[in-house]
Amino acid sequence: MLILVLNAGSSSLKYQLIDVETAEVKANGLCERIGIDGVMKHEIAENRKLTIDHPMPTHKEAIEFMLNILTQNDTKVIENIDEISAIGHRVVHGGEYFKESTIIDKNVIQKIERLIPLAPLHNPAHLLGIKICQELMPEKPNVAVFDTAFHQTMPEENYLYAVPHEDYTEHKLRKYGFHGTSHYYVSNEAIKMLQKEQSKVIVCHLGNGSSICAVKDGKSIDTTMGLTPLEGLMMGTRSGDIDAGVIPYLLEKKDMDANQIIDYLNKKSGILGVSGISSDLREVIKAAKDGDQRANICIEMMCNRIRKYICSYAGVLGGVDAICFTAGIGENADIIREKVCSGLEFIGVEIDKNKNKIREKTNREINKTDSKTKIFVIPTNEEFVIAQDTYKLVKA
Ligand code: ADP
């Protein structure tokens, strides 16, 4: 069964065509600069990569063009669109409405719309993607898979903020958490590797956006991102945790308004703001190696905060069987994994420095043989989870 997985952003569209029974990715790609000029980066099996400039005034032209590329001429991987059984959409915010993935109907669309104030950049773009698919392929089922759903198992004491309670009951002000699809996939893989009935797993999803999740017996019980993805770790361009008193201070000192401050904390802070070099950690690591002081401090700050959360989640879980690293930084930056783990021997974490340096795109264990806590590197695969959930719901 072929599932088309879509992740529609405000000016971009990521897609994968997956055979869910064999896990084969038939084609994948990214349309960028939608509404500006339009460029598609497309990849077909066996590493055939293409970059095509094509006008994409709206998401509709982008999706139409993608369907053409999948079905026509020398780029075709299917004879026609009928071979696609269903479409799985990544949706960032499912609020308290969605505890799992769901088939999309009018009611689901209304709820995703109602959640726009909580995800003003993401949910409108997802809705566009859904509506265009319904228009272009009216007979095909659409499924929504939410970034927040996996964290809906968090207990109240972990998701409430310490503010007046009526703001939770009236305005749904609480921690939701994100990257849920990735935390689910990685913790599930870790549980298989542990071969344990009951498990305490900490997943570190370290990419441009980063979050950590405490997973007990397969369920999320705490996570670092909050009402929005701004809370928690220091990220590519996001500050992560910060004293809320910073906001009025900046309002006055820099004559900013609320939107400018949110922009400053979301887009100008984190690795970019501290290093003054880039939000791309590879460039910062290189500068640190060349002796750049700020780059060095930036890396130490980042690792320090990851270590703090690992310890705090070991406390929340009452121990830890495995720490997992995933996403761009977690999967590739051995130097970060080594720094994070050193100093954690007191909770049974002992990294094997040689195993840590091995580069592979597979699940692997990088702890010393006698380390009480396992350390896993597990490449994430959110698209596959979306395809699987879509398949299960459509089949049912
Ligand atoms: P996104 O959150 O956009 O999906 P990714 O998961 O792709 O991001 O992660 C992007 C981050 O991973 C960037 O900061 C990039 O520098 C970092 N990264 C990728 N490869 C390496 C590497 N070999 N060493 C260090 N950092 C890396």
Asked if 199 and 245 touch (Cβ cutoff 8 Å), the reply is: no
Regarding the beta carbon of 94 and ligand 1, being less than 6 Å apart is answered: no
Determine the distance separating the centroid of ligand 1 and the alpha carbon of 120, expressed in angstroms.
25
| Distance in angstroms (rounded) separating the CA atoms of residues 79 and 68 | 10
Residue whose CA is at the smallest distance from ligand 1 atom 13? 280
Query: Could you list the pLDDT tens digit for every one of the 396 residues in the chain?
Result: 999 999 999 899 999 999 999 999 999 999 999 999 999 999 997 778 999 999 999 999 999 999 999 999 889 999 999 999 999 999 999 999 999 999 999 999 999 999 999 998 899 999 999 999 999 999 999 999 999 999 999 999 999 999 999 999 999 999 999 999 999 999 999 999 999 989 999 999 999 999 999 999 999 999 999 999 999 999 999 999 999 999 999 999 998 999 999 999 999 999 999 999 999 999 999 999 999 999 999 999 999 999 999 999 999 999 999 999 999 999 999 999 999 999 999 999 999 999 999 999 999 999 999 999 999 999 999 999 999 999 999 999
Regarding the beta carbon of 236 and ligand 1, being less than 6 Å apart is answered: yes
Instruction: Verify whether residue 217 is a known catalytic residue.
Output: no
Which pTM does this prediction carry?
0.96
Q: What share of the chain is helix, strand, coil (3-state, %, to 5)?
A: 45, 20, 35
Helix (H) or strand (E) holding 182: helix 180-194
Determine the distance separating the centroid of ligand 1 and the alpha carbon of 299, expressed in angstroms.
14
Q: Which residue in the list 74, 82, 147, 217 is annotated as catalytic?
A: 147
Q: Cα 361–364–369 angle (5° rounding)?
A: 155
3-class DSSP state for residue 51? strand
Specify the ligand 1 atom closest to the Cα of 336. 25
- Residue 162 DSSP label: S
Regarding the beta carbon of 207 and ligand 1, being less than 6 Å apart is answered: yes
Asked if 144 and 101 touch (Cβ cutoff 8 Å), the reply is: yes
3-class DSSP state for residue 36? coil
Specify the ligand 1 atom closest to the Cα of 334. 24
Q: Which token pair is 217?
A: 């017996």
Regarding the beta carbon of 282 and ligand 1, being less than 6 Å apart is answered: yes
Regarding the beta carbon of 332 and ligand 1, being less than 6 Å apart is answered: yes
Regarding the beta carbon of 12 and ligand 1, being less than 6 Å apart is answered: no
Nearest to 12 by CA among 125, 147, 148, 90: 125
pLDDT tens by residue, 130-144: 999 999 999 999 999
pLDDT tens by residue, 48-83: 899 999 999 999 999 999 999 999 988 999 999 999
| Distance in angstroms (rounded) separating the CA atoms of residues 218 and 382 | 16
Q: Which domains does the chain have, with CATH numbers?
A: 2-146 (3.30.420.40), 196-377 (3.30.420.40)
Regarding the beta carbon of 327 and ligand 1, being less than 6 Å apart is answered: yes
Determine the distance separating the centroid of ligand 1 and the alpha carbon of 328, expressed in angstroms.
3
Residue whose CA is at the smallest distance from ligand 1 atom 3? 208
Residue to probe by mutation, ligand 1, list 12, 329, 338, most atoms within 8 Å of CB? 329
Q: What are phi and psi of 113, to 5 degrees?
A: -65, -45
| Distance in angstroms (rounded) separating the CA atoms of residues 338 and 179 | 23
Radius of gyration (C-alpha) of the chain in whole angstroms: 21
Q: Cα 57–32–378 angle (5° rounding)?
A: 150
Do the strands 142-146 and 84-91 form a parallel or antiparallel pair, or are they unpaired?
A: parallel
Regarding the beta carbon of 208 and ligand 1, being less than 6 Å apart is answered: yes
| Residue 238: burial class (beta carbons within 10 Å; 0-12, 13-18, 19+) | buried
Residue to probe by mutation, ligand 1, list 206, 225, 332, most atoms within 8 Å of CB? 332
Residue to probe by mutation, ligand 1, list 185, 208, 271, 360, most atoms within 8 Å of CB? 208
Regarding the beta carbon of 333 and ligand 1, being less than 6 Å apart is answered: yes
| Distance in angstroms (rounded) separating the CA atoms of residues 33 and 30 | 10
